Chain A
């Protein structure tokens, strides 16, 4: 009647919210690395070299995997099980493809005598922080991508068990959020490297 009944406070799904906070903490890790990169680069004694050209391909692959992820997500919402399964499998394959591409990039760096570690005592080409930073940025991103692949794998298995559909979207929602984030993170790292190289 006239009394102000206490309102339920605004809230969102706790697990989705927690995922966003997790993403924030990953952003902070990369913020730390990239600012360290900039600060260190400004100090000079910085080895200049070309970025591995395969980065363009891997970037395209990862963006494509985001598209297939979104397709899988749409399919799940429309209860199109074939589309969902196909989308998930394609996303996993593209994700693995990206990692293979990144590995090739590291091989390219090694061929150019850009090493992760090693000083002048045991290596004619001592590691310069500029090269080491590239390994760290790509390596830590790849590590997170592996965690994303595990997540994708779980959802794919669930999709094949018909446990993901329009009435049960929470997990695939979270999976899509995380995967898109990893994609955006890589693209921004790539742009960062292109600009500050």
Chain B
């Protein structure tokens, strides 16, 4: 942390020494491995997230082979899967394990840690004008808890009885009784331990994000001038702090049921004809607790992607975001509503039908803020000077999958229709589009857009465009047909559907088609991996502000050191969406440009009292008199502020 404070303690004149100052003291381990720099931690999250994404994707390809081509000889997978392939066939229990781990990995390790972990860490300090997170140490701890959790989860894939196999929601009694399923033994224990560490990591991260956004904003960065990315990360963290502890409680009770003989979730049960004598547990209780996290988790995954998209669409449409306040309002509404809709996952679990209609009503209300957001994206694009960067393509792709996946949510949210659709491929199609693909597109948009800030180089645009079109067409080919299968009642999580004549005749070629489409989509991800790694080392060098963007991160050096800005942190004088302002010289005015430097484009409410009715000269004169004094005051206060923080550390 000491290095962070250095720039503030020097005067502007000595600014040149800084880089020099802090590069020395850090050993390789402190700089790249146990780093407290939010940018390094963000990159660590990104690399881990990409690793998990490829692993999770590979698992889905294996079970897609089984679904698409049930008669296929899978002996060629024996070198990887070993005894999980018996006589050329995939072991049915291992199929369940694959589905479970695919869900767990994608939801938690890729789209929560990989998305929120990467971009909240990277962008919060850079966009609000802070030198680092509120606590660099806790931030580092957060990553290493995640790493520990990752190691345990990864190890569980390789144990003899296989990883957890009860579905990513790990409902008891399947998950509570080790004798229920191979995967409910050791694999389930490791799943729970890994998730406990994951929750700790996520809480440390969220607490840090909220604290940083509220307390470490630079001069002038009021809440109404925050970029929508930061609003999204902030609200995501709020959801995390409120919902993850509940999952922790649920998991703790499950651990007690598994290993300490309690019966919170276990009621009178027979297994293999033998009565187990558990007394008075309620499996529904688990479902309530799980979905109290589980549903907000959907928005933990989605909101960061929506925030990233808002920023990228405004920048590349060269237009102010349409309805800035409506965007914030709808994100807040989503945050609040996300906590009161959980039981729509339980419509067919024996829930009181009256309670069901209340949850149905609340669920359908979420369509309103979601529609406001979709509308605002489209109206921002409307008649903009659109620049089709790869980040922009993925953002527009997000809007598309968000709408087509969101519409089916309105159908699923109805408790009556859900009776037919529950646990069918319709649900699979719905959440893979609206949550999976949308968040994945947001993640990719963010990677392409902020790659220059992360690595000082540009990714290749042509490869990026090919990656986008392959992925965009691919996800629709994969998930769209699933709607039809789902409406016909085709159940999810089934190892073999060919026993049912109807589905076999109707859908065998369709599932085969989906599998081929999934393989096709996966190939384009390899292209991304090549582009990503190649660009880190060989990409074109990034200019200072490659997308001509307004936000503060582009005022920091191209390869920012620990502490982000050399010398003073810029102050903020305007909102982040002054694109194509009438009268302005350029089509963008960054947040740190004062109003008095842009008299030609100021709107009536932005004209200062002293400058009313006068031309440029008067404003320029005022500026001369003023510019010195505030700078000095800034320095003094800045110094005082940092000193306070410093003395705390010495205690």
Contacts and interface: CB of A to CB of B under 8 A. Distances in A.
Contacts of B138: 18
A6 B591 CA distance: 12
B215 A11 contact: yes
Contacts of B246: 28-29, 31-32
A29 B249 contact: yes
B648 A5 contact: no
A132 to B, nearest CB: 4
B253 A24 contact: no
Interface stretch (A38-46, A61-69, A77-85): A38-46
B499 to A, nearest CB: 36
Contacts of A18: 134-135, 138, 207-208, 211
A110 B573 CA distance: 66
A116 interface: yes
Contacts of A188: none
Interface string B597-636: 0000000000011110000000000110110001000000
A195 to B, nearest CB: 20
Interface in A8-57: 8-9, 11-15, 17-18, 21-22, 24-26, 28-29, 31-33, 36, 39-40, 43, 45-47
A3 B594 contact: yes
Interface string A63-96: 0000000000000000000000000000000000
Nearest to B596: A3
Interface string B203-228: 10011101110111101111100000
B167 interface: no
B279 A11 contact: no
Contact of B211 (A5, A21, A133, A171): A21
B557 interface: no
A32 B261 contact: no
Interface stretch (A101-109, A119-127, A179-187): A119-127
B647 A168 contact: yes
B543 interface: no
Given A2-B609, A119-B277, A21 B256 contact: no
A118 B279 CA distance: 10
A129 interface: yes
Size band of the A side of the interface? 35 or more
A11 B248 CA distance: 30
Contacts of A193: none
Contact of B220 (A6, A26, A132): A6
B81 interface: no
B384 interface: no
A127 B263 contact: yes
B475 to A, nearest CB: 35
B263 A129 contact: yes
A163 to B, nearest CB: 6
A1 B261 contact: no
A3 B626 contact: yes
Interface string A162-175: 01100010110000
Contacts of B264: 36, 40, 129, 132-133
Contacts of B648: 13, 15, 170-171
Given A14-B134, A116-B260, A136-B256, A9 B277 contact: no
Interface string A125-161: 0111100110010001000000000000000001000
A119 B214 contact: no
B596 A40 contact: no
B134 A15 contact: yes
A7 interface: yes
A128 B219 CA distance: 58
A121 to B, nearest CB: 5
A25 B207 contact: yes
B418 to A, nearest CB: 22
Nearest to B292: A32
- Chain B binding site: helix, strand, loop or mixed by DSSP? helix
B159 interface: no
Contacts of A158: 651
A1 B625 contact: yes
B643 interface: no
Contact of A21 (B216, B241, B596): B241
B571 interface: yes
Contacts of A14: 134-135, 211-212, 215-216, 645
Contact of A128 (B279, B610, B637): B279
Interface in B212-270: 212, 214-217, 219-223, 241-246, 248-250, 252-253, 256, 260-264
A132 B256 contact: yes
B261 A119 contact: yes
B476 to A, nearest CB: 38
A3 B594 CA distance: 10
A49 B364 CA distance: 44
A7 B276 contact: no
A37 B257 CA distance: 15
A111 interface: no
Contacts of B279: 45, 119-120, 126-128
Contact of B262 (A36, A47, A132): A132
Contacts of A12: 214-215
Given A2-B610, A9-B222, A132-B263, A126 B253 contact: no
B328 interface: no
A17 B138 CA distance: 14
24 contacts: A2-B609, A2-B610, A6-B221, A6-B572, A9-B222, A11-B214, A13-B215, A15-B648, A18-B135, A24-B241, A25-B207, A25-B241, A28-B241, A29-B246, A36-B285, A40-B264, A46-B280, A116-B256, A119-B261, A119-B263, A126-B278, A129-B262, A158-B651, A168-B647
The 9 closest A-B pairs by CB, nearest first: A6-B220, A117-B261, A2-B610, A120-B277, A32-B249, A14-B134, A28-B245, A11-B215, A45-B280
Given A15-B135, A47-B280, 14 more contacts: A2-B622, A6-B219, A6-B571, A9-B217, A17-B215, A18-B135, A28-B243, A28-B245, A36-B264, A46-B280, A117-B256, A119-B261, A127-B279, A132-B256
Interface of B: 134-135, 138, 203, 206-208, 210-212, 214-217, 219-223, 241-246, 248-250, 252-253, 256, 260-264, 276-282, 285, 288-289, 292, 571-573, 594-596, 608-611, 622-623, 625-626, 630, 637, 645, 647-648, 651
